[in-house]
Amino acid sequence: TDFDGTIFMQDTGHILFDRHGCGTEHRQRLDEQIHTGARSFRDVSEEMWGSLNVPFDESMKEMKEHLVIDPDFADFHDFCIREGVAFNVISAGLEPVLRGVLNEFLGHQVSERIDIISNAAEISADGSEWKPIWRHDSQLGHDKSLSVKECRAHLRKQLPGNRNPLIIFVGDGVSDLPAAREADVLFARAGLRLEEYCREHNIEYIPFDSFADIEREVLRVL
């Protein structure tokens, strides 16, 4: 599953950029450059993260104050553990931020059971420098389609008879578009960009409003 806008209702980066970086208006202009194709996701993201000036611990206080988690996510994650469904986060964000947020909202014991596939980062002690270390050498920084393919290949080796695993992907926005065609079952948060993209390109998907919707559908699939 994606993280920003999917597990959490807001974007972790946007919260920080608006309060401790380039500011809301400039961030919105940069977002528009991504949507129009004027600049790459990686290029714009580097500018946004590079604008930050906030210590990491202070950034986690901002997350705790302003983020809202999907009310049914914790129950869904418990469901995955009970049913033996391998659960991973695939994100275009920064791993230290995502891990810190999961620690804050779910506790370390639950957080450590969630693998995060995202970008690394170098963050100075005083918070004056935030530098993404991109997972892939591409305009996306983290190409989620490659991560899904890598996951499928890894799991296939573990299954008897070289069978294909069933890949379920959950997302909401523009950074999820590359992964949309790679999943066997695709969930798109209702009313957002991923759903719009699926409609435009005739990609089969299941809309959802909360992870309770996803749990019901995954149980049916199982």
Asked whether residue 5 is assigned to any structural domain, the reply reads: no
Burial class (CB in 10 A: 0-12, 13-18, 19+), 217: middle
Asked whether residue 1 is assigned to any structural domain, the reply reads: no
Tens digit of pLDDT for each residue in 78-134? 999 999 999 999 999 999 999 999 999 999 999 999 999 999 999 999 999 999 999
Asked whether residue 7 is assigned to any structural domain, the reply reads: no
Asked whether residue 48 is assigned to any structural domain, the reply reads: yes
Q: Which residues contact 18 (CB under 8 A, 6 or more apart)?
A: 24, 27
| Res 107: pLDDT | 95
What's the structural domain count of the chain?
A: 1
DSSP, collapsed to helix, strand or coil, labels residue 89 as strand
| Res 187: pLDDT | 96
Q: Rounded to 5 degrees, what are φ and ψ at 63? A: -60, -45
| Encoded tokens for 221 | 């699939």
| Res 185: pLDDT | 94
Indicate which CATH number applies to the domain containing 190: 3.40.50.1000
Asked whether residue 2 is assigned to any structural domain, the reply reads: no
Asked whether residue 106 is assigned to any structural domain, the reply reads: yes
Asked whether residue 3 is assigned to any structural domain, the reply reads: no
Domain that holds residue 45: 12-219
Q: Which residues are tagged catalytic?
A: 2, 4
Q: Which residues of the chain have pLDDT under 70?
A: none
| Res 201: pLDDT | 86
